[in-house]
Amino acid sequence: MSPLAASRAGRVLAAAVLLAACATGRGPGATPSAVASPSAAPATPSPAVAATSTAETGASQPATTVGPAARAVLFNDSHFHLLNYIQRGPAAREFLDMTAGRVGRVAMFGIPLQQKWDYFLSGDHAPDYYLGTNADLYYYSFVDAVIAREYLSLSEEGRRRVDPMITGFNPADMYAPDHIERVLLTFPGVFAGIGEFSIHKEFVSSKVSGHAASLRNPALDRILTTAGEIGLVVIFHNDIDHVRPSDPPHHAEEVLDLFARHAETTIIWAHTGLGRFIAPAEGHVAWLERWLSDPRYDHIALDISWDEVAKYVIHDDATLEAWTTLIERHPTRFLFGTDAVAPADWEGYVANYTVYQPLWERLDPEARAQVERLNYERIFDAAIPRVRAWEQRQLAGRNGG
């Protein structure tokens, strides 16, 4: 039986118990370099490997150690939706208060799609998730203004913890780069990247109004080229296969072709291509290993966000060992993210982290530090100065400077 076969309520309770145990040093794998109580004095650190960029492609090498302040933080969140599919969620200040001292930096974004409430399909039932109705989804560009406003409402200290992302564009639209540039220049100094945006996604793609996004659409190439020229981090969702699997997975070759065409763009591939119903093929980990070892893809990182993905990683000892080996061979290429959507409380939010506890226990401390915190910092710290410089050049040109 999978470790995630229990109900979400059970996972949340387990999360709270686990964190309490780890904070006192009595939980499984609870070491000073792993999980610490936010209120406790930081422990003396043991060396953990960071990474510095060796090129704009994002290739990296071990470089620095982790200081005591970083050890009080559980993780940086590379994948967080402040808003849900009806554009509702907590205020950014509320979220930061909830996670203060426990979560470092957060890549914060909304959801680019709005779930339509079609009265003729659902009557008085107001759906708030795409699986709750047959009604269409449509692109909601105002989401970027909402995220910018939330960010700008924060104190300077709060802003240092948030890296906002642009999501309100249609990836099947050749004008999408215009939207991205317009948002950057309307809200200079705010955004660090684009995404999460989806091309092929189980049960979502078929619900989106208008022409479906595709890996073959030149609009996608225009988006990624623009991101590379500006320096934006890209968080990219593309299922590796259809819900009915094929051999080889339907999108495996196309997605690697896309990555190879955009070597100057830093891309984080969400969920390693997996999903709620997109299970890993038998050779998925070996396939990842092959192309992660290929220097043509040094600009690609992978996030292991979403508890639906965790169930594949920690399914049994064999899968756990395979993923541990993969990550330890490529420790600078993986990031943790929660993929939480408009969380109401800490327990529900952090459950997406504690569900990975078997992986955290098995990873060596240096690789764990990379996945939980350091890779995030390396990628975003390299991107932000480039984005700010692009904004300054564009605004100076507008003003005749």
Of residues 210, 227, 45, 71, the one with CA closest to residue 137: 210
Is 393 within the bounds of a domain? yes
State both tokens at 106. Answer: 């957060």
- CB-count exposure of residue 255 (10 Å: 0-12, 13-18, 19+): buried
Map residue 379 onto helix, strand or coil: helix
Query: How does residue 109 score in pLDDT terms, banded at 50, 70 and 90?
Result: very high
CATH number at residue 184: 3.20.20.140
Is 2 within the bounds of a domain? no
Arithmetic mean of pLDDT, 92-118: 94
Q: How far is residue 401's CA from residue 399's CA, in Å, rounded to a whole number?
A: 5
Buried b (16+ CB within 10 A) or exposed e, 385-397: ebbeebbeeeeee
Query: How does residue 162 score in pLDDT terms, banded at 50, 70 and 90?
Result: very high
* Residue-number span of the structural domain to which 340 is assigned: 8-398
Is 326 within the bounds of a domain? yes
Strands 75-81 and 103-109: parallel
- Sequence-ordered list of residues with C-beta below 8 angstroms from that of 383, at least 6 positions apart, any chain: 192, 193, 231, 232, 233, 266
- Sequence-ordered list of residues with C-beta below 8 angstroms from that of 163, at least 6 positions apart, any chain: 105, 106, 107, 108, 192, 193, 233, 380, 384
Does residue 51 register a pLDDT over 80? Answer: no
Strand partners, 81: 109, 341
Is 270 in contact with 196 (CB distance < 8 Å)?
yes
Among 108-112, 212-216, 322-326, 340-344, which stretch is predicted with the lowest mean pLDDT? 212-216
Is 208 within the bounds of a domain? yes
- The percent of residues above 70 in pLDDT, for the chain, comes to 79
Strand partners, 235: 195, 268
Calculate the CA 94 to chain-centre distance. Answer: 20
State both tokens at 199. Answer: 């091309």
Does residue 103 register a pLDDT over 50? Answer: yes
What's residue 257's pLDDT? 98
Is 1 within the bounds of a domain? no
How many domains is the chain partitioned into structurally?
1
What's residue 52's pLDDT? 33
Does residue 68 register a pLDDT over 60? Answer: no
Which of 59-68, 74-83, 269-278 holds the top average pLDDT? 74-83
Is 178 within the bounds of a domain? yes
Is 220 within the bounds of a domain? yes
What's residue 32's pLDDT? 31
Is 113 within the bounds of a domain? yes
**Distances from the Cα of 354 to the Cαs of 116, 335, 360, 397, in angstroms?**
33, 15, 9, 48
Strands 162-166 and 103-109: parallel
Arithmetic mean of pLDDT, 339-367: 97
Arithmetic mean of pLDDT, 325-338: 98
pLDDT tens digits, residue range 361-371? Answer: 999 999 999 99
Among 19-23, 28-32, 70-74, 140-144, which stretch is predicted with the lowest mean pLDDT? 28-32
Is 357 in contact with 313 (CB distance < 8 Å)?
no
State both tokens at 198. Answer: 């989806």
Map residue 196 onto helix, strand or coil: strand
Does residue 262 register a pLDDT over 50? Answer: yes
